Amino acid sequence: MNKNVALIGVSGYAGTILYQLLKNHPKVGTITLYGHRDVGKHLSEIQPDLVQYGQVDPVINQFDPQKIMKEADAAFFASSAGVTNQIAGTLIEADFPVIDLSGDYRLSDPKSYEKWYKKPAAKADDLKKATYGLCEFHPKLSRYVANPGCYATATLLGLAPVVLNNLIDLDSIIVDAKSGVSGAGKKLAPGSAFMTVNENLTVYKANRHQHIPEIVQELKNWNPQLRSIQFTTTLLPITRGIMATIYAHVAKGIQDPEKIISQAFIDTYEDKPFIKLHGSNLPSIKDAAYSNLDAIGWQYNPVTGVILIVSVIDNLLKGAAGQAVQNFNMMFGFNERIGLPIVPIMI
């Protein structure tokens, strides 16, 4: 049976892509749109490209949790950080299915959220009800899924095989992560203007990116011995895509590291449809572009004892809207591939 859904926030990049995916999803019926600033407007007024060829031109409704619970089977939040935790309480209390693309429910510690996001945190009791929805590794989903951040998705999927199998020195992890400009969102800012980004590379939010605590939180769930990581973000002069380049020293005592590490990646991801393993042929941004794939490659350097891991995703799909739909599929028992692009667009 098809599921009717509510989508809160369609004006941003992630909301736009999510709407497109849901419109083409064979198990989704009615999509009702909700917003804040654009209430009463038709979709064509804020996203004209989404309404073409005689398709329905829906109105943006005022957020109403009672209406959502009456008319929909699930809700997607594609709103900015600091919004969801102010309005989702009624849905959480009612145990209504929610997939939240904001960062409001990813961190279990309210103080950590306030430190990194500089905004008031959700209630501690509500945070306990949320599942961190990294699709390849989440336990049984709760009814409230906190969709992971884009940088966190690429980094965690790259590190999982070596952390879970105790193959690296946990104090040696360095992540050099790079993103296309769409990761900065639609809001105009000098740092993402064409004249700034074009023919340029810019390091930003060094040691203070808000995805750092969720990466560390999940890594500690996998191995409590981990203390911290070195994580740097760089803005690329491209529209979309993330490349997380990860370095770590191989743990002492590992015999034949290259073979053991390769087998760990194969064993970890052999039944995961959206993980594409490249082995020593390190992937490029285009190996995941416009798909829900994570393309992962690795190389071991016997001279330095360092393992290099390259994890590549499309930040708007696997890093946001695509993973949200993947979580939706798994939440309702659908094949997780339904409605999601699995072939990258190379040109």
DSSP for 135-169, please give it: TTT--S--SEEEPPPHHHHHHHHHHHHHHHTT-B-
Which residues are bridge partners to 34 per DSSP?
A: 8, 61
pLDDT of residue 311 exceeding 80, the answer is: yes
Q: What is the structure's pLDDT at 53?
A: 47
d(CA 123, CA 202): 36
pLDDT tens digits along 21-33: 999 999 999 999 9
Mean pLDDT of 285-298: 98
Band of pLDDT at residue 49, cut at 50, 70 and 90 = confident
pLDDT of residue 294 exceeding 50, the answer is: yes
Specify the range with the lowest mean pLDDT, choosing from 38-47, 142-151, 159-168, 297-306.
38-47
Q: Which residues are catalytic?
A: 150
pLDDT tens digits along 200-249: 999 999 999 999 999 999 999 999 999 999 999 999 999 999 999 999 99
Q: What is the structure's pLDDT at 193?
A: 81
Task: For domain 3-148+318-331, give the CATH superfamily.
Answer: NAD(P)-binding Rossmann-like Domain (3.40.50.720)
Percentage, residues of the chain above pLDDT 70:
98
Band of pLDDT at residue 44, cut at 50, 70 and 90 = confident
Q: ∠ CA(192), CA(282), CA(170), 5° rounding?
A: 85
Mean pLDDT of 130-142: 92
Mean pLDDT, the chain, as a whole number? 94
d(CA 194, CA 112): 33
Q: Which carries the bigger pLDDT value, residue 51 or residue 197?
A: 197
- Burial class of residue 118 (count of CB atoms within 10 Å of its CB; 0-12, 13-18, 19+): exposed
Q: Where are the domains of the chain?
A: 3-148+318-331, 151-315
CB 296, CB 310: distance < 8 Å: yes
Band of pLDDT at residue 55, cut at 50, 70 and 90 = low
Q: Is the dihedral of CA 198, 241, 174, 105 positive or negative?
A: positive
pLDDT tens digits along 177-198: 999 998 776 666 777 788 888 8
- Burial class of residue 288 (count of CB atoms within 10 Å of its CB; 0-12, 13-18, 19+): buried
Q: What is the structure's pLDDT at 138?
A: 87
pLDDT tens digits along 149-178: 999 999 999 999 999 999 999 999 999 999
Q: What is the structure's pLDDT at 186?
A: 65
What kind and span of H or E run contains 326?
Answer: helix 322-331
Q: What is the structure's pLDDT at 50?
A: 76
Q: Domain 151-315 is of which CATH architecture?
A: 2-Layer Sandwich (3.30)
Mean pLDDT of 333-342: 96
Q: What is the structure's pLDDT at 188?
A: 65
